[in-house]
Amino acid sequence: MPKQKQLQDIISHCKEYGFVFQSSEIYDGLQAVYDYGQMGAELKKNIKDYWWYSMTRLHDNIVGIDAAIFMHPTVWKASGHVDNFNDPMIDNKDSKKRYRVDHLIEAHAATLDEAAGKELVAKMELLLAADDFAALKQLIEDNKIKCAISGTANWTDIRQFNLMFDTQMGSTSTEEDDKVYLRPETAQGIFVNFLNVQKTGRMKIPFGIAQVGKAFRNEIVARGFIFRMREFEQMEMQYFIKPGTQKEWYEFWKQARTNWHKTLGIPAEQYHFHDHVKLAHYADAACDIEYNFPDWGFKEVEGIHSRTDFDLGRHQEFSKKKLTYFDTEENKHYVPYVIETSIGLDRTVMMVLSEAYEEQDLSTAEKQDSRVVLRFAPHLAPIKLAVFPLTKKDGLPDVAKELMDICRPHFKCFYEEKDAIGKRYRRQDAIGTPFCVTIDHQTLEDRTVTIRHRDSMEQERIPMDKVKDIVLEKIKQF
RNA sequence: GCGGGAGUAGCUCAGCUGGUAGAGCGACAGCCUUCCAAGCUGUAGGUCGCGGGUUCGAACCUCGUCUCCCGCUCCA
């Protein structure tokens, strides 16, 4: 019987076997920043490649791009990130409730008579424009504005939370105008290149643009291992469609993404769909694909959004460049609608790790025994094949190395001759290697080897010449 | 951000009323050669998260700080 999974055990395992380390650990780490180790990097890359090929190879009408992390500052005005994430906030210390300062003051102004209310709002707007937070707090205190929940006026200082990291472009510059942001999402890199790709790729609607890349969010509270990091990687695909067809395409991608998730080797009951009732400003439909994480329950891994023409429309407005498509069937120009699929790569890594992790009790009447095994889908496993000579004598290592030479160019292999064979198997279980091949004395006679399967722990004897093709067949993605 | 818990070897942890660190597993080298871990011999690895204070003396008391986990909050 597998033991109940605990997040803490999985995190320890990730550290112990080189999947995930805390960033800058020797300096006490950096909050909510993590590094992938030798195993984690392979796992992550396998997931990334699998997504990329699922999008760009299996769909003739989806192409991939790789946009820069830095973008023109106006991009973030057009996207709404600057306006929506720069509001000064204030917390009530008693109720712990956080308010947007402008909302708090406006709500209070509404309770005053008209002239006084207008005067208060006017004062507030002057101070907001000047970013004078101390005076704003004074204004709140002078007006004896209270928290609706606690009824007290016990406020923290006003703070400005900015989701976006910024830096200066140009080494000597300190001008506000030269501020550039580290992108908080990858989607905008696709939208601003919409026309470039459509024209140069001669793309016809409907078509998609896929991208994998880093994004950065200066979260106020970032926690939860690699689930919510300040620097993270997204895999996004924006699908450009004819206005009016968004319902069908939304359903299509919902289904397509669900099917993709099933091929990760995760059972359907571990997933939930969560349809958004309250929609973001750009969306006319949205849902999350949620995975049942240990300890946490269902949490979002992927979002599918029907974004209408909001993004292209805004970029058209801000850039004053036409971002329309000429539809030869309809014989007219229009701004395409967009269906977005956006999946967190790090969250997917965590999901795959969580699902794969299993502590098994293998005890028999005679002896206690257990193992930790990562039951990765073979195409995602960091190492596909381990090759073991049963002993390091009698020329067995030479034959094993011969097999290594045959397999090495095709998939990631691992060779080991140290320790008892059982111990070597268990070490591979712990990093999720699906196949182990052992060269024994019979191999010297008839060129057969045993292949041992990770999940069943069963072995079969096969010709050594077939190992490569058997493993290739099992790790085939499509 | 608030509240709670925690940080000692790669991992899990012990360490009494303060007397300058231990175990198990793991790792490494060798023996054994055996198809499912814990057999034998040996080795390495810790200024006890970091910094200050109290003390003759701090892993232990105290203050600060960093990091992680849980709950709330937040979450395009």
What is the complex's ipTM, to 2 decimals? Answer: 0.87
Which nt has its C1' nearest the CA of A228?
B75
Integer Cα distance of A237 and A351 in angstroms:
20
Classify residue A7 as exposed, middle or buried by CB count within 10 Å of its CB (0-12, 13-18, 19+). middle
Residues 6+ apart with CB under 8 A from A100: A87, A88, A89
Q: How far apart are CA A390 and CA A473, in angstroms?
A: 25
pLDDT tens for each residue of A291-310: 999 888 899 999 999 999 99
DSSP character at residue A336 = P
Residues 236-265, chain A, CB closer than 7 Å to nucleic strand B: none
User: Which bases in strand B are touched by protein, i.e. have an atom under 7 Å from a CB?
Assistant: 1-2, 7, 10-12, 26-30, 33-39, 49-50, 66-76
Residue A438's nearest nucleotide, by CA–C1', is: B35
**CB of A446 under 7 A from strand B?**
no
Q: How many Å does it take to go from CA A2 to C1' B66?
A: 36
Specify the long-range contacts of residues A125-134, CB closer than 8 Å, at least 24 apart.
A128/A88, A128/A101, A128/A102, A131/A88, A131/A160, A133/A88, A133/A157, A133/A158, A133/A159, A133/A160, A134/A158
Residue A282, CA: closest nucleotide via C1'?
B76
Q: Is the CB of A384 under 7 A from strand B?
A: no
Nucleotide closest in space to A29 (CA vs C1'): B67
- CB A170, CB A45: distance < 8 Å: no
The residue type found at A215 is: A
**pLDDT for res A135:** 79
Is the CB of residue A426 inside 7 Å of nucleic acid strand B? yes
User: From residues 332-371 of A, which are strand B contacts by CB within 7 A?
Assistant: 362, 367-370
Separation between the CA of A439 and the C1’ of B48 (whole angstroms): 46
The mean-pLDDT minimum among A205-209, A305-309, A357-361, A412-416 falls in: A357-361
Strand B-proximal residues of A, range 129-188, CB below 7 A, are 156, 184-185
Q: What count of residues does chain A have?
A: 478
- Does strand B come within 7 Å of the CB of A58? no
pLDDT of res. A435: 96
**Burial class (CB within 10 angstroms; exposed 0-12, middle 13-18, buried 19+) of A347:** buried
Residue A444 has pLDDT above 70, yes or no: yes
Using DSSP, state whether A309 is helix, strand or coil.
coil
pTM of the predicted model as reported, rounded to 2 decimal places: 0.88
What pLDDT is attached to residue A117? 82
Average pLDDT, chain A: 88
